[in-house]
Amino acid sequence: MSVAIVTGSAGLIGSEAARFLDAKGFAVAGIDNDMRGEFFGVRASTRWRREEMEKTLRGYRHFAVDVRDREQVEAVFGRYGKDVSLVIHAAAQPSHDWATRDPMTDFSVNALGTLTLLEATRRRAPEACFIFTSTNKVYGDLPNLLPLEERETRWEVAKAHPFAEYGIDESMSIDKSHHSVFGASKVAADVMVQEYGRHFGMKTVCFRCGCLTGPAHSGTELHGFLSYLMMCAVAGQEYTIYGYKGKQVRDNIHSRDLVAMFWEFCQQPRCGEVYNAGGSRHSNCSVLEAVELCQEITGRKMRVRYTEQNRSGDHIWWISDVRRFRSHYPAWNYTCDLRGVLEEIHAALKARRGAGSV
Sign for the pseudo-dihedral over CA of 159, 145, 273, 18: negative
Confidence of residue 161 (pLDDT cuts 50, 70, 90): very high
Q: What is the pLDDT of residues 167-181, one digit of tens each?
A: 999 999 999 999 999
% of the chain residues with pLDDT over 90: 85
CA–CA–CA angle 206, 210, 214 (5° rounding):
105
- At 240, the amino acid letter reads T
**pLDDT on residue 356:** 52
Confidence of residue 354 (pLDDT cuts 50, 70, 90): low
- 300 Rama sector, left if φ>0, alpha if ψ -120 to 50, beta otherwise: beta
Domain architecture of the chain: domains with CATH:
3-355 (3.40.50.720)
Residue 149 backbone dihedrals phi, psi, to 5 degrees: -120, 135
Within 13 Å of residue 148, how many CA atoms lie on the same side as its CB? 19
Instruction: Taking residues 314-334, report their average pLDDT.
Output: 97
**pLDDT on residue 358:** 52
Q: Which of 258, 231, 224 is nearest to 13 (CA)?
A: 258
Q: Name the 3-class secondary structure at 178.
A: coil
Q: Is a pLDDT exceeding 90 seen at residue 41? A: no
Q: Is a pLDDT exceeding 70 seen at residue 222? A: no
**pLDDT on residue 353:** 63
Using the CB atoms, write b or e for 173-191: b if 16+ within 10 Å.
Answer: ebeebebbbbbbbbbbbbb
Least confident interval from 47-56, 130-139, 333-342:
47-56
Q: How many CB atoms are located within 10 Å of the residue 165 CB?
A: 11
Can you list the alpha helix ranges (DSSP code H) found in 159-318?
180-200, 225-235, 255-267, 287-298
Q: Name the 3-class secondary structure at 118.
A: helix
